[in-house]
Amino acid sequence: MTQPMTEMKTFNIYLLRHGKTQGAPALYGHTDIEVSLATQHSICNALSKEGLGFTAIESSPLKRCQVLAQQLVDDCPELALNVTDNWKETHFGDLDGVPFEEASSDWAKFDAFWRDPANNVLPNAEPLEQFYNRISKAWESFIQTLDQDTLIVCHGGTIRMILANVLQLDCANPSLYSTLQIGHQTLTHIQLTQADKNYLRVCMIGKPLI
């Protein structure tokens, strides 16, 4: 007796990195820095012109993401919004949010971190493997219950960890950070097809919106 064919469904997941922040150059992880309202409006306008058709939004709770997500919902009230810690950026420990110009004595630590982040954890920061596992757990839970096209407003590090999971990349490989560009206000597109199992396809990485 033949088995009935599994119904296939395909959903689009859009990963939107927040806009350029207003602070001095620094590593901004959990530091709750803002994006100018003018930039947030520009991103909203550019996103609307893409005509993506998503019906739900998930967002990191940090202002640089949540303000944008809320603006999108204000402009289109039928969108469902879920603000969750799941998509937060990594925490850079004692140097999180400290302007580089004020941390000259720590420059060797920054340099080692950029060259090999997995093996040069910043003081009291979230280790890279822990960050990857945290985001992977959130991502795998998310795709198990996905039932509509969804936009996730989040962070560059978060998007890199999702891509590492989907593409089965080594999150400890420094090239994932030095070579893969995920700029501010850029869009990454992943498709999920649900059939006998979940099939993921990366359709676009880091498309600038403005």
Q: What kind and span of H or E run contains 70?
A: helix 63-75
| pLDDT one-digit tens code per residue, 116-162 | 999 999 999 999 999 999 999 999 999 999 999 999 999 999 999 99
Q: Give residue 7's pLDDT.
A: 83
Distance CA 71, CA 82 (A): 13
Q: Is 41 a catalytic residue?
A: no
CATH no. of 9-90+127-208: 3.40.50.1240
Greatest alpha-carbon span in the chain: 72
Can you give the residue ranges of every domain in the chain? 9-90+127-208
64 carries a ligand binding annotation? yes
Point out the catalytic residue in the list 58, 89, 126, 155: 89
Amino acid residing at 59: S
| pLDDT one-digit tens code per residue, 38-65 | 999 999 999 999 999 999 999 999 999 9
Point out the catalytic residue in the list 18, 58, 126, 155: 18
Distance CA 138, CA 104 (A): 36
Q: Is 78 a catalytic residue?
A: no
DSSP H helices in 88-172: 107-115, 128-144, 156-166
Q: What kind and span of H or E run contains 203?
A: strand 198-208
Q: Residue 114: phi, psi to the nearest 5?
A: -65, -35
